[in-house]
Each structure stands twice: as structure tokens, then as C-alpha cells.
Structure 1
């Protein structure tokens, strides 16, 4: 398990916290592996009945670590998928409920992973962004299908093509989050909700989640694969490499 992914199990809830505050919890390949391990553990362990995702006190996740993201990757072997693939598809297909507590920034993957949670609480200070186009990339984790499903085609185009920040109040109006809670109340309330879910009849909960959500459909999984292929192409593109190099350039 990555030192930047912290897990704790209590009352049937596995709490998974991204903990890299000096980099605003930006995800590295090692962190993806830690998240994937936690999701796979949740899926396999009958004593874990709910997954709770959170970050540090002030940040949820500021997206991918750009320096780590730019590193060359070997072609993925379908028989042995890499950490991000395991995380993406493990989260999308997890049959147990997922609760998320968002104390602050949720950018890129930090925002799109919330599309796969069942219940999301956010602090008033939380800010969200889908900046893929500005980085020369395309959406991932099924966002190109799930965002229009959630907010409608035109608003989705605004969010994904312009890539502007939106605040917690807008996120609540659009359905990205269920409720806004003061930061001091955020994690206690999310934990209480996760424990309440963990105490419910599990087979009924599993079946109801499957009926509620489109993530289980082959169309979504196929779109996620399509996004990943396009993302890999874009990462190699000179345009994208130049944008990322500029992002990493020391600020004067």
C-alpha cells in the first residue's frame, strides 16, 4: 500500500484517504496502486460493506501528478492491467456502496471519481474542475458519458470544453454532490452515512445500487476503454507534451 493512501476499517466501513498534502493529493502511479488495492479489498472482503473516500483536511484530490503522468508507460497487457486501469474499472464495477467526503479541491480525476460514488458530501470551500481539454487531453473514468447523463448535454459541454472551476453550491445544484456540510461536520457525517449503509441488508443494497446506476452497463465500460485509448494517444502528442512542460516550468 502506498504511504500516500491511508486506510482504516471500522464498523464495516473501509475509509480510504488520499494523503499527499504537499502536492494537494495529486495522484501518482503508486497512489493508483494503493487505491486499486483498497477497492479490490472492499470487493473481496465480506466484512467490508461500504467504501468511504476522502482526502486530507483541506483537499480531496487535485488530479494527476503531471510529472508522474508524463513518464513513459509500457503498453498495457490486458492480462495484467496497470494500477490506473485497476482503479478505474474496480471503482466503476464495485457492487458495494461508495460514499465520498470532499473537503476542498476536486480536479480532474478528483472530480470524475465522484461520478462513481453513490453519496457525496462536500464542504462549502470545495471547488471542482474538469480541465482535460486545457491540458490537451480527453475526459476519463467514463466522464464523457456520465457528465451528460448527470447534468444534460449542453451543461456537460460547458463543463468539459471550457473546463472552468465551479463551486460547491453549483456542484450541489447539478447533482455532483448530495449535500454541503461545514468542514468540521463533513467527515463525521460521511462516516455516519457509510456506517448506516454498512448496517443495511447487503444483498438488497447491492441489487438496488445495480438498478440505480448505469456504470454496470457494457456501454459505459466500452466508453471508458475508448477514453483510455484516446488519452494514451493524447499523452504522446506534441501539443500535450508542450502544455505539460509549461505547467511544470518553475514559476518566477
Structure 2
């Protein structure tokens, strides 16, 4: 199974389980995660959600072959369901990040309440490199968290950066040894699960209240650009170069 769901100690754990593909996410996996968040909100026994990856990676982002077979052209596409549900989750969401966190593997972290990362974690936001634009409201949230110039460097250049820079940018809470990050993140989620659910829910809502409408509107705006760009010549060149294992040539495009 590519997504593993476990319940223990009031925590629902969502584990990405495609280690041979560095946990690249397919449409089916997005749907499973979206459904897991939906069930978590309804289940009173679930007090917190933990997201992690198996096999030494968090996520290499979208599985490009799967993504190109079934592009996210509808608001009801599994990826948009997942992003809406993680961004609007009322219960605390904790992430444990090790290894690669590419594209949505990084942008989903901006919707988590606590992010713990291994010293091995490496982040990148290669949307422009693929002829695309940011998603998951990252064009709004990353500048808010990290400041415009730092966000611009990551979103415009798309170059990978390490966990210490992610920590200094403000979207990682703490850096741990790779063999300790999952257990530590689970323990933090378990601590949250032991606290009064109503207090957690209200406190989170108060902190995120000003962002809720902005996030939904920005996701819609990004999607309005993303879908046409996916079919544009620049993106076709980027994806073809990826599959041919060569450097893309954008020089002929205005």
C-alpha cells in the first residue's frame, strides 16, 4: 500500500509508503490522504494528525508520469481535495520530515502546525524550473513566514536548500537526528492529543483565522494559472527533458 494509516494514542498517522519512488505522490495517494483527513475530523478519538514518509524520504513531490496522465484540471481533483483538507484541518497537524521534500513535499508543510525535520532533510520548490507556478498557497504563505526576498529566492530559482536554512526561514520547528525524528514527532503529536480538544481547536482557529479566506482564494488563483501553464510549451519542454535526463532549453520561449 502506498499510504499507510495508523491510529494510536489519539494520533492518526499518515505514512507515505513508496520508498522506491522517494514517496512521489500519485492521484490515488492524494485521494487516500484527503479521505484520511476527512475521517480524522469526524472521529472524536483522533486528536492530532501526523504525516511522515517511509524509507528515508518525505516526498519527492508529484509522481510526474501519473500527474501527466491525469492532470489536476478540476477543483475536485484529488490533489486539490487534499490541499483543502490539510489547510482547513481543525485538529493539530504535525509533520516528520527526512530526506527529500520536493514541491508539494515542501508546500504542504506550510499548512502543518508543527514541523520536525531530520538533519538529512532537503527541500526544493522547482515549480519555475518545470515551467509552472507555485501551488498550495505557497506564493502567499512562504513570503509571510520567511519574508519576501527569501521566499523569492526559493520560488524563483527553485534550488534545493538544507534543513538549517529551512529552520532559519521559520517553517521547521526543530532539527533532529534522522533516526529520532519520527519518534519525536509522534511524541509531540501524542502530547497534543492529550490536551483539551476544544482548547486546541479554538487556539488553532484564532491563529489561522486571518489566513483562511486568503489561503482558499490564493489556491484558486494559483490553480487558474497552473492548469494552462501545464499545457504550455515551457512545461512540455521541462517534462520531456526530465524524462530524457537532460537539461531543458527554454531559450526559444519568450
CA contact (8 A) 1:126 1:168 kept: yes
1:200 counterpart SS class: coil
Change (3 A) 1:159 1:215: farther
Change (3 A) 1:25 1:215: farther
CA contact (8 A) 1:121 1:180 kept: yes
Q: Corresponding residue for 1:155? A: 150
Q: Corresponding residue for 2:233? A: 238
Unaligned runs of 5+ in 1: none
Q: Distance in 2 between matches of 1:62 and 1:45?
A: 30
Change (3 A) 1:239 1:215: farther
Task: Write out aligned runs for 1:75-224 (5 A).
Answer: 75-76=73-74, 81-213=76-208, 216-224=211-219
1:52 counterpart SS class: strand
1:60 counterpart SS class: coil
Q: Count the aligned residue pairs.
A: 246
Change (3 A) 1:61 1:72: closer
Cα deviation, residue 217, structure 1: 2.1
Cα deviation, residue 216, structure 1: 4.8
Change (3 A) 1:58 1:132: same
Cα deviation, residue 219, structure 1: 1.7
Q: Distance in 1 between matches of 2:135 and 2:209?
A: 16
Unaligned runs of 5+ in 2: 247-254
Question: In structure 1, which of residues 43, 53, 58 is the aligned counterpart of residue 56 of structure 2?
Answer: 58
Q: CA offsets per residue over residues 138-174 of structure 1, 9 Å max, x none? A: 0000100000000111111111001111101111111
Q: Distance in 1 between matches of 2:144 and 2:128?
A: 20
2:23 counterpart SS class: coil
Q: Distance in 2 between matches of 1:57 and 1:244?
A: 26
2:14 counterpart SS class: strand
1:44 pairs with 2:42: yes
Q: Corresponding residue for 2:26? A: 28
Question: In structure 2, which of residues 13, 16, 37 is the aligned counterpart of residue 15 of structure 1?
Answer: 13
Cα deviation, residue 75, structure 1: 4.7
Q: Distance in 2 between matches of 1:160 and 1:75?
A: 22
Q: Distance in 1 between matches of 2:12 and 2:73?
A: 32
TM-score by length of 1: 0.94
Q: Distance in 1 between matches of 2:103 and 2:210?
A: 19
Question: In structure 2, which of residues 229, 244, 250 is the aligned counterpart of residue 249 of structure 1?
Answer: 244
Runs of 4+ with >3 A deviation? 72-75
CA contact (8 A) 1:215 1:221 kept: no
Q: Distance in 1 between matches of 2:133 and 2:210?
A: 19
Change (3 A) 1:143 1:214: farther
TM-score by length of 2: 0.93
